[in-house]
Structure 1
Amino acid sequence: MSYTVLNTQLRWLDFAARNLLRNRRRSLVTLSIAALGTAAILVAAGFARYTYTGLAEASARSTGHLVLGMPQSFEGDEAQPLEHGLQNWQALREALLAEPEVRHVLPRVQFGGLISNGEKSALMMGVGISPDAEFAIKGPFLTQKSGQLLNDGERGRVLLGEGLARSLRATPGSGLTLMASTAHGALNAIDVRVAGVVSTGVPDLDQRLVCTDIATAQTLLDSDKVSSMGLFLERMSQTPALRERLQARWPALALKDWEQLAPFYGAVRQLYNRIFGALGSILALIVVCVLANAMAMSVIERTREIGTLRALGTRPGQLIASFATEGLLLGSLGSLLGALTALALSVVLMLVDLQMPPPPGRSQGYPLQLELSADMVLAVIALIALLALLCSAWVAARSVRQPIPQALAHV
């Protein structure tokens, strides 16, 4: 019995394929539209996914997958520098490094004040870091314009943002003075030397950025505290579980994940979801309209054939299934061809360095690439094939139920 059913289904499939070949031009056009629609949807979705991944990795690399600090440090401004800083942070850092998911812990000291070359002063946004670990863990998050990066063991050296260096006419080797309020409310100043000039890709930040080592920053602020510590994990997916476990272990401290500290990521994701969601809906609608038109033309041209088949005893459901199979074949083949086109394009973009223009507020572009996953490709192929099947069945259902004499008399 199963063999008979399978044989019958294969005959209907062969019948549908032969019908598609009766008008090759129309079938080819319909196939091309389905392929272009599939490729366009995958390219848009792949670009959005690549943007999400890039922004997520940049945000996590900038702050850490988790940032640990005092609760007050995340709630508002401090009256004095390091007022809500972490005390005994070295012991806490060793305890965090003992966690199996934690790859590295980077302490940071945030401070503000003035920087002067003796003739001109400018506002600065300073950060104290552990240089060797910072650059090794985070990778190329700064673009080195001139000079050298900071090294552990060197004191009294700073990196300047490109805009700030230009404003102060500072070059590697120049002597500058940092001035800031200490943790006790007094005014302090230290002399430093420029190690290098860097760029973050954000012009507004480059106008104020000063990087130095933690010891120099603590000397300026007259404190042994740090502002926060960034935790870098083996995998981003480990963030939620580790956050819950660490929060239970240190309830007096606050833990923020990278997404909470990256509002730009959330805003871009919402914007792209709306833009590419609307684009995908439009493309799907175009595919449906083209398929509906192609199947309607096919049904009209074969009205007498439909009447003859009905007169020979073919049931309307069988005819609807035949036309739906034709649509399924067109949608499946077209979507598969479109998926192959999108995959080929993604490979080409990996080999060819095409740069997107800088986004608003930044001075550096980013590579144009597509991130396609197996789930995404299969979902789009299934969606286009399903739309083709439903569209063909709907058109056929409206046509095959007309009276047999009227169908036979159709001209």
Structure 2
Amino acid sequence: MNSQWLKFAWLNTLRNRRRSAVTVGIAALGTAAILLAGGFALFTYQALEQSAARTTGHLIVGKAEQFQRDEDTPLQHGLDDVAALKATLLADPDVRQVLPRVEFSGLISNGDKSTVMMAAGIDPDAEFAVKGPFLKVTAGEVLQSSEHGKVMLGEGLARSLKATPGTSLTLLASTTEGALNALDVTVQGVFSTGIPDIDKRLVYTDVATAQQLLVTQRVSSLGVFLRSMDATTPAHARVAAALPKLAVQTWLDQATFYKSVKELYNRIFGALGLIIGVIVVFVVTNAMAMAIIERTREVGTLRALGTLPAQLTQSFALEGMVLGGAGALLGALVALAVSVALLVFPVEMPPPPGRSNGYPLNIVMDPALYAATLATMIVLSMLASAFVARRTVTRPIVDALAHV
């Protein structure tokens, strides 16, 4: 019986093919817009997740004070006995690498000019092996763990100091005891992070050089890199249990930019989806209302022959399902084609505010997003059709037959 009613619904939509085609077309455009916007948002979220985890590590281990308050002197809340901590962390099966980090600030000078720097001491070989090409080297070479007394400068900072690979500079910073210390270094390379404001201040050196300048053996924190993003939550619980005296944060705890962008995009694309959904519902409602008005006498005839109002409501709801379902399916195919085309023919997006580098435009083809969108479109179309049909199908038979 249901298949027969579905067949009737399909044939009824073909009565006015132009109107049905317009309805299906608008539903298809709405569905494609929702899927493309949602896919772009998912791509942005995934890219920012990977960037945040690659920058800090999936987990960050440090003293609680390191995350909660500012330091009076460099590495006041730093970690001691780093070798033992690394060995404990590497014993976890999901841990791929542990990277120490020494964060400090001070002045950098070429002899004639001094400027403020934000510096980080890293383990270069492990850093670049784990993170990949997270910096764009524009001159010189990357740091080597076997070489000390070398630095890499951000483009803006190198330009300000007129420094090139091989230039000698001096780093000045407060030691852990509060005294001022200076250290001569050589520029190994110049890089760009893609964020000009950061490139004006950022300096990379190796851990040993940073510790020599600060006169300490401590590090600020340890970045724990896992085998996959999915391992973050279980690994966080195990590491926190293994190191009860230390604080363990996840990449999400420090991903302020990611959380801000996600909140903004959720609101923007949520409002966009709501608007498009309302438009599609109104289009389907209008199409079904016109079809129902045209067939009022037909409805009266069917009622006179014994057809129940519930059966007629079901028939009109199935017509809405056919129109909405056809539009949603066509829109999904359009969105899928556009997403695949962007992989074959890459499109470069312009740099976002505050950055100097663009990024490729990709649309995530998420099965859950497609299924939810198609189901929502179909359900809304059926509900809209049933809503506009209920008054006509319950109209007195004599009035329906007399309708002109």
TM-score, normalised to structure 1's length? 0.96
Find out whether 1:305 has 2:298 as its counterpart.
yes
Partners of 1:118 and 1:380 lie apart in 2 by 63
What corresponds to 1:196 in structure 2? Answer: 189
- Counterparts of 1:251-266 in structure 2 under 5 Å? 251-266=244-259
Q: Give the CA deviation at 1:109.
A: 0.6
1:397 corresponds to which residue? 390
- Report the equivalent of 2:313: 320
Give the whole-Å Cα distance in 1 for the aligned partners of 2:7 and 2:93.
Answer: 58
Deviations, residues 370-395 of structure 1 (Å, cap 9, x unaligned): 11211110110000000011111111
C-alpha displacement of 1:355: 2.1
SS at match of 2:153: strand
Partner of 2:148: 155
Give the secondary structure class of the aligned counterpart of 1:402: coil
Aligned equivalent of 1:170, options 163, 166, 169 = 163
Structure 1: 5+ residue stretches without partners: 1-7
Give the letter aligned to residue 71 of structure 2.
E
Match of 2:84 among 77, 87, 91: 91
1:280 Cα deviation from its structure 2 partner: 0.4
Looking at structure 1, the residues matched to 31 and 117 of structure 2 have their Cα atoms a distance apart, in angstroms, of 50
Identity of aligned residues (%): 59
Code of the residue aligned with 1:404 in structure 2: it is: I
Q: Could you say what secondary structure the match of 2:254 adopts?
A: coil
Counterpart Cα distance in 2 of 1:113 and 1:200: 20
For 1:74 and 1:24, how far apart are their aligned partners in 2? Answer: 65
Matched position secondary structure for 1:22:
coil
Does residue 1:209 correspond to 2:197, yes or no?
no
Q: Corresponding residue for 1:5?
A: none
Report Cα offsets for 1:211-267 as digits up to 9, x if no partner. Answer: 011111111111111110000111112212222222122111111111111111111
Deviation track 1:285-339 (CA, whole Å, cap 9, x = no partner) reads 0000000000000001111111111111111111111111111111111111111
TM-score (normalised: structure 2):
0.98
Partners of 2:106 and 2:5 lie apart in 1 by 80
- Partner of residue 76, structure 1: 69
SS in 2 for 1:259: helix
Deviation at 1:367, TM superposition (A): 1.6
The reply on whether 1:34 has 2:4 as its aligned counterpart is no
- Code of the aligned partner of 1:207: K
Query: Which one of 334, 342, 350 corresponds to residue 341 of structure 1?
Result: 334
Q: Distance in 2 between matches of 1:169 and 1:44?
A: 44
Which amino acid in 2 is paired with 1:293? Answer: N
- Alignment partners' CA distance in 1, 2:234 and 2:4: 54
1:11-410 alignment runs, 5 A limit: 11-410=4-403
Give the letter aligned to residue 142 of structure 1. Answer: L
TM-superposed deviation, 1:101:
0.8
Structure 2 counterpart SS, 1:237? helix
1:136-163: CA deviations, max 9, x gaps?
1112211111111111201111100000
Q: Which amino acid aligns with 2:164?
A: T
**Bigger shift: 288-297 or 147-156?**
147-156
Cα offset, 1:356, TM superposition: 2.1
1:318 is matched by which residue type in structure 2?
Q
CA-CA distance at 1:191 after TM superposition: 1.1
Name structure 2 gaps, 5 residues minimum. none
Tell me which amino acid in the other structure corresponds to 1:25. R
Within the candidate set 9, 13, 27, 2:2 is matched to 9
1:323-363 deviations in whole A, cap 9, x for unaligned?
11111111111111111111111111122222222222222
SS of 1:35's equivalent in the other structure is: helix
